[in-house]
Amino acid sequence: MSQPAISAGSSPVIELKNVTKTFGEVRSLSDVDFVVRPGEIVGLLGDNGAGKSTLVKTVMGFHRPDPGGEIYFHGERIHDWSVARARGLGIETVYQERALCEKQPIWRNMFMGRELRGKFGLLDVKRMRSEAARLMKEHMGFTSSAVHPDNVVATMSGGEKQGVAITRALYFEAQLVILDEPTMGLSLTETKKTLEFVGNIKKAGKSAIFIDHNIFHVYPVVDRLYVLDRGKVAGVYSKDEITMDELIERLYHVARSGKME
Ligand SMILES: Nc1ncnc2c1ncn2[C@@H]1O[C@H](COP(=O)(O)OP(=O)(O)OP(=O)(O)O)[C@@H](O)[C@H]1O
């Protein structure tokens, strides 16, 4: 199980300062300041091409900022930012449900790539099955004996699959969970379930970045929102500062004029 080498405190889990990212002639991010605090769910909104993916890929370590940009984890500047470094510090991405192995049982999916091992390095199947059962009950709210860790993932609903992915991230000591359009292609009920799982991240005292095109999904579960427009931060809002209607109004305004007010 990966443990963050830097101790968690009240300083932001992740902080990007003055981050610009260019790909040849394309400037995907421009002087972006971005902060996620402990226990905070932060929404990322913006039109197609606004820079949302580039921003989260930078947080995930896939991209390094152009010179001048800085990345801090719990207040400490990290110079050698990379996927391995970000993951080692507890930044986990929940990919869309297709990242799970449909034909494998739930317990295997929970521990895929980070299997629990016993003596002599042998797989501890018994412990993985019992841990999966506990997590399903405690984190995913499965009380029915019909849902068993041996069930294959293909039999679960889309929302439940997202639950497996989120629970897996939390189990592996994620400090920050990145959710990239977790409700895409899900039905209404499955979406509701997925949003409940997002709430579990906060209950567990962890943080998340939530990207979704649908403001009706994002607004209810987040504490703060960043609006990106053409690579720039066009607005940052605490949820208690802005109603959903006001936010929609401002998003229309950004789309029309490129400015938040
Ligand atoms: N690897 C890359 N090489 C060149 N240009 C890129 C690369 N990645 C992103 N871009 C460009 O940067 C801009 C921002 O893209 P990005 O994918 O971050 O936007 P987005 O807000 O996630 O969009 P969407 O909602 O459509 O996924 C776009 O113009 C895109 O074409």
Tens of pLDDT, residue by residue over 110-167, are 898 889 998 888 999 999 999 998 888 887 777 766 678 999 988 887 878 888 888 8
Residue 130, token pair as written in the block: 């019992």
Q: Residue 77: which domain range?
A: 14-99+174-257
pLDDT above 50 (res 69): yes
Measured CA to CA, the distance from residue 137 to residue 161 in angstroms comes to: 15
171-193 pLDDT, tens digit each: 777 899 999 888 877 778 778 88
Residue 36: strand pairing partners: 14
Query: Which of 26, 48, 214 gets mutated to test ligand 1 (max ligand atoms within 8 A of its CB)?
Result: 26
DSSP string, 155-187: GS-HHHHHHHHHHHHHHTT-SEEEEESTTTT--
Residue 216 is assigned to a structural domain of this protein: yes
pLDDT band at 27 (very low <50, low <70, confident <90, very high): very high
pTM of the model: 0.83
ipTM of the complex: 0.96
Share above pLDDT 90 across residues of the chain, in percent, rounded to a whole number: 49
Domain count, the chain: 1
Residue 34 is assigned to a structural domain of this protein: yes
109 within ligand 1 shell (Cβ under 6 A)? no
Mean pLDDT of 55-77: 95
CATH number for position 73: 3.40.50.300
* Residue minimizing CA distance to atom 4 of ligand 1: 23
Residue 228 Cα: closest atom of ligand 1: 21
> What's the chain's Rg over C-alpha atoms?
19
pLDDT band at 260 (very low <50, low <70, confident <90, very high): low
Do residues 151 and 170 touch, judged by C-beta distance below 8 A?
no
Measured CA to CA, the distance from residue 203 to residue 40 in angstroms comes to: 10
The alpha helices in the chain, defined as continuous H runs, are 52-60, 83-88, 106-111, 125-138, 158-171, 188-203, 215-221, 244-257
pLDDT above 60 (res 4): no
Spell out the residues 6+ positions from residue 88 whose beta carbon is closer than 8 angstroms to its own: 2, 4, 5
